Amino acid sequence: MLTRSALHVAVAALLLCAAAVGGAGASRRPAAAGGSCCRKHVKRITEYGAVGDGKTLNTAAFARAVADLSRRAADGGGAALVVPEGKWLTGPFNLTSHFTLFLHRGAEILASQDLNDWPLIAPLPSYGRGRDEPGPRYSNFIGGSNLTDVIITGQNGTINGQGQVWWDKYHAKELTYTRGYLLELLYSHDIIISNVTFVDAPSWNLHPTYCTNVTISGVTILAPVHSPNTDGIDPDSSSYVKIEDCYIVSGDDCIAVKSGWDEYGIKFNMPSQHIVVRRLTCISPTSAMIALGSEMSGGIQDVRAEDNIAINTESAVRIKSGVGRGGFVKDVFVRGLSLHTMKWVFWMTGNYGQHPDNSSNPKALPEVTGINYRDVFAENVTMAGRMEGIPNDPYTGICMSNVTAQLAPDAKKLQWNCTDVKGVASGVSPKPCPELGAVGKPCTFPEEELVIGPPELPKCTY
Ligand SMILES: *[C@@H]1O[C@H](CO)[C@@H](O)[C@H](O)[C@H]1NC(C)=O
Ligand SMILES: *[C@@H]1O[C@H](CO)[C@@H](O)[C@H](O)[C@H]1NC(C)=O
Ligand SMILES: *[C@@H]1O[C@H](CO)[C@@H](O)[C@H](O)[C@H]1NC(C)=O
Ligand SMILES: *[C@@H]1O[C@H](CO)[C@@H](O)[C@H](O)[C@H]1NC(C)=O
Ligand SMILES: *[C@@H]1O[C@H](CO)[C@@H](O)[C@H](O)[C@H]1NC(C)=O
Ligand SMILES: *[C@@H]1O[C@H](CO)[C@@H](O)[C@H](O)[C@H]1NC(C)=O
Ligand SMILES: *[C@@H]1O[C@H](CO)[C@@H](O)[C@H](O)[C@H]1NC(C)=O
Ligand SMILES: *[C@@H]1O[C@H](CO)[C@@H](O)[C@H](O)[C@H]1NC(C)=O
Ligand SMILES: *[C@@H]1O[C@H](CO)[C@@H](O)[C@H](O)[C@H]1NC(C)=O
């Protein structure tokens, strides 16, 4: 029987649920229909035999839990798997649809450091092979394909990839296959990742691929600044992705928007578009705050970065491409950057290199155009702009306005080095290269907001 106070909590949750679905006057929908509501079936991982001692391997418990909750969720009520305080060691596992993974405060899901617990999976069709090594790749730690309505949230619990063993083997060239990503969802839509912490990924952290309608908010991502390829969030051939209020410290790009690799990406032909990055704080001394590429062969279009902060980061919004990539990067809008200790405020690269095999097409030239930066303040800068397009394939339509880069004591004498780029600038200090001709007006930023995710994040606690 429910006690009075438990009933009270349940009723309160239902009310919140109704508010999240439609607010006053909206037609009633059952809980979890549409995905923005509290789940009907709620189970703790302990109910499937898991032990939170940091030593017991709980792979079977996670698999049983997701299989069971997948069946239960099918009645339309959705399901939540609750991970309470404790250390829950497990091998890789997949998620399911109409599903919430809810981590309590002090809950930590630990990835097994035994490579035998990591099965091999097929490479991504848009990459043709693993990113580190040819052929198949190690499973992602948390995966899922063809899902809808997935929420990963809680009270800032942690998903810990325990990546040190992978980084060591990677550096020692002891890995035959590509490292797994910490979280990868394929062909999925209506995803929310909010109020969780990801640490020490073996390689990339969050990798939504072939996905639409993804909200990532209030997420903390931490990896040592010299760990290899620990990118924070990599939307890949994905559309309508919103990344807000995240804090990322990593050994590679804090965010890297991608869309497949050379001839495989060109053939797969699925762009990343309608991407929003707001109020990010990034620390990444050897990489970019936001990279576009280098894998961009399916195209990248309509990226909007607003009010972002980088501290001790190599560059801000960087474009990485090269001959053989094909594809495009266009309609990039950046407004409001606050940058402290930067090697390059602006960095574009036209000879990134790194090809999947020897079959990339040397005639596949990327189109890079319509790149807008405004309202940028940077201090302790080594060099304002390193702008390298591609010979006979210049990066065009670059616009910079209202930019101040205050130089570091050991700043370079040459502040701008521009080759194979064309554009305009106004109110930019120090004075830009002649390739960026004068114009008297601010650079464009779209006025209408993109609609991504639910109007309000669900507030369900379990
Ligand atoms: C997860 O799903 C993928 C297919 O999307 C499959 O290849 C893989 O084996 C599954 N992993 C686990 C641990 O079940
Ligand atoms: C997921 O959807 C894709 C694209 O529709 C399809 O090719 C693939 O076979 C599906 N995968 C699974 C595991 O159902
Ligand atoms: C979440 O946890 C991380 C890691 O412990 C911490 O850095 C971050 O400040 C926490 N976020 C919130 C909102 O409490
Ligand atoms: C996007 O996903 C949210 C749930 O995360 C859902 O409420 C919303 O309707 C979806 N929007 C579209 C356009 O599919
Ligand atoms: C390209 O070909 C060269 C020589 O045939 C070979 O040594 C190299 O491994 C190949 N590179 C890739 C990425 O396959
Ligand atoms: C110029 O950019 C700064 C931020 O660096 C902003 O505070 C200021 O309002 C901008 N000025 C104009 C005229 O937009
Ligand atoms: C300025 O940048 C240099 C690296 O170029 C760094 O060593 C120094 O600590 C930074 N100074 C401040 C005040 O942040
Ligand atoms: C400027 O950039 C080009 C590549 O685009 C490079 O070859 C050249 O060395 C750079 N010049 C200086 C002085 O750094
Ligand atoms: C994350 O926390 C914020 C601030 O407390 C809250 O507004 C939001 O609803 C939470 N997200 C989820 C999915 O519960």
C-beta of residue 120 within 8 angstroms of C-beta of residue 137: yes
Share of the chain above pLDDT 70, in %: 92
Ligand nearest to the Cα of 408, by number: 7
Bridge partners (DSSP) listed for residue 393 = 390
Catalytic residue, from 200, 231, 252, 420: name it. 252
pLDDT digits over 79-128, tens only? 999 999 999 999 999 999 999 999 999 999 999 999 999 999 999 999 99
**Ligand number with the minimum distance to the CA of 137:** 1
Which ligand is closest in space to the CA of residue 158? Answer: 3
Distance 175 CA to ligand 1 centre (A): 21
Would residue 234 show up in a list of annotated catalytic residues for this protein? Answer: no
**Atom 2 in ligand 9: which residue has the minimum CA distance?**
195
| CB of residue 187 inside a 6 A radius of ligand 2 | yes
pLDDT score, position 4: 43
Q: CA torsion sign, 199 to 200 to 201 to 207?
A: positive
**Positive/negative CA dihedral, 141, 216, 107, 104:** negative
Separation of CA 241 and ligand 2 centre (Å): 20
Q: Which two tokens stand for residue 303?
A: 């990226």
Average pLDDT, the chain: 93
Q: How far apart are CA 257 and CA 235, in angstroms?
A: 5
Can you list the domains of the chain with their CATH numbers?
A: 29-252 (2.160.20.10)
**In 3-state terms, what secondary structure has residue 314?**
strand
Q: What is the pLDDT of residues 44-83, one digit of tens each?
A: 999 999 999 999 999 999 999 999 999 999 999 999 999 9
Protein residues with CB under 6 Å of any ligand 3 atom = 156, 197, 220
Question: In whole angstroms, what is the distance from residue 161 CA to residue 368 CA?
Answer: 35
What pLDDT sits at residue 460?
95
pLDDT mean over 390-406: 98
| CB 182, CB 201: distance < 8 Å | yes
For residue 438, name the pLDDT band (cuts at 50, 70, 90).
confident
Give the distance (Å) from ligand 7 centre to CA of residue 374: 24
Q: How far is the CA of 94 from the centre of ligand 1 (A)?
A: 6
